[in-house]
Amino acid sequence: MRVAIDVSPLVQTRAGTARYLKGLLRELRHRDGVEVSSRSFGRGDRLSTLVRDSVWYPFLVGRAEAADVLHCPTYRGPVRPPRVPLVVTVHDLAVLRHPGAFNRWTREYSPRVVPRVLRAAREVIAVSEFTRRELVELLGVSEEKIHVVPNAVEDEFTEDGPAEQGEYVLAVGTLEPRKNLARLVEAVRRTDTELRIVGARGWGRVEVDSNGVRWLGEVSDAELARLYRGAVCVAYPSLYEGFGIPVLEAMACGAPVVTTRGTAMEEVADGAAVLVDAQDPAEIAAGIFQAVADRAQLVARGLERAREFRWDAVAAATMDVYREAIA
C-alpha cells in the first residue's frame, strides 16, 4: 500500500498534532506492506500559512500521484475529492465551538473550508468519541465514515527516570485562550504552591508572568517527562480539547492529574483523574488539593490507563482505515 501523508503540521507546531504525526509516521514506516511518502509546503511563517491554506491545501495537495491513499492529519485538505481516496484526521472542532479563542484567519477560514474537506474525504478519523460526536452534531458527518482512533504516548513518558525538584503544579499547553491559564493561575494561588507552565507562546495575548508562576517555554520531551514526574500534580483545565495529550503523558509519568469534567479529557482519563468545572477557580483549587491527597490511588490508576494507548495500535487501526478507503 502506498500512502501519501501531509507533514506540513510539523513545521507549524510541536503540540498535539505534531506529536500525533510523528508517532504515526514512525510506526507506519516500520510496518511491512506500506510505503509512506511525505507531502508538505512552506514553513511556519504567516505567509506560508496563508498560501498553504488558500492554494496548496484546496487545490494542490490532492495531486498525490503514485499513491493509493492520501492522508491529511488535520482538517486542512482538498475541498473536492482528489485523484486518490482521502482520509482526514480531526483532532477537535474547537474553532467552531469557541471561535473567539482563535485568530481572525482561522476563525473565518475554518467554517467555510472544513465542511468541504470532510465531504471530500472518503473516511474520517476522530481521535476520541468526544470528537466523533462533535463531527456528527456540528457538521453532520455520516457516522458510517467516522473511525475513532485515539492518540498514544511516546516511550519517553514513563514513571522511570529523574524527577524535577520543588513543590509545584505543572501545566502544559500553548499559551492561548482555551487553555484557561488565567483561571488556573488564580486557582493555584489559593493552594500556596508554585505554578510552572510549559508551552510555546500562542495567540490571544495570553500572559502568565506573575508572582508564583514560572513560564518555561518549550522544552525537550526528556525535560517535560522530568517535570511531569516531579510535579505534585498536573493541572489541565482546558475549556475544550479533542483529546488532551498532556493528560495521557502525565499519567504515564506517574503524576496525578486534574482536568475538565465533561470533555474529551474525561474520556481519556476514564476515572484516573480528578475532574473539575474549568470555569470555577475555587473548584480547580479544590481539585488540586484532592489530587495531592489521593496521589497514590490516582497514580496507580493513571499508569494502568496510560498503558492502553500505544502507537503501534494507532498505526494498525489507521491502516485499517486506509484499506476501507481504498476498497
The tens digit of pLDDT for each residue in 272-309 reads 999 999 999 999 999 999 999 999 999 999 999 999 99
SS3 61: coil
The tens digit of pLDDT for each residue in 84-122 reads 999 999 999 999 998 887 888 888 989 999 999 999 999
The residues of the chain that CATH labels 3.40.50.2000 are: 2-152+310-326, 168-306
E strand or H helix that includes residue 135: helix 129-139
The single-letter code of the amino acid at 185 is V
Banded pLDDT at 14 (limits 50, 70, 90)? low
- pLDDT of 185 > 90? The answer is yes
CATH-assigned architecture of domain 168-306 = 3-Layer(aba) Sandwich (3.40)
In contact, 294 and 273? CB cutoff 8 Å: no
Largest CA distance in the chain: 59
Give Cβ neighbours of residue 193 (< 8 Å, ≥ 6 apart).
167, 168, 169, 212, 232, 288
> Between β-strands 86-90 and 123-126, what pairing exists: parallel, antiparallel or unpaired?
parallel
Distance CA 190, CA 251 (A): 24
DSSP state of 155: T
| 2-152+310-326: CATH class | alpha beta
Bridge partners for 64 per DSSP:
none
Q: Which one, of 52, 134, 41, 120, lies nearest residue 86 by Cα?
A: 120
SS3 215: strand
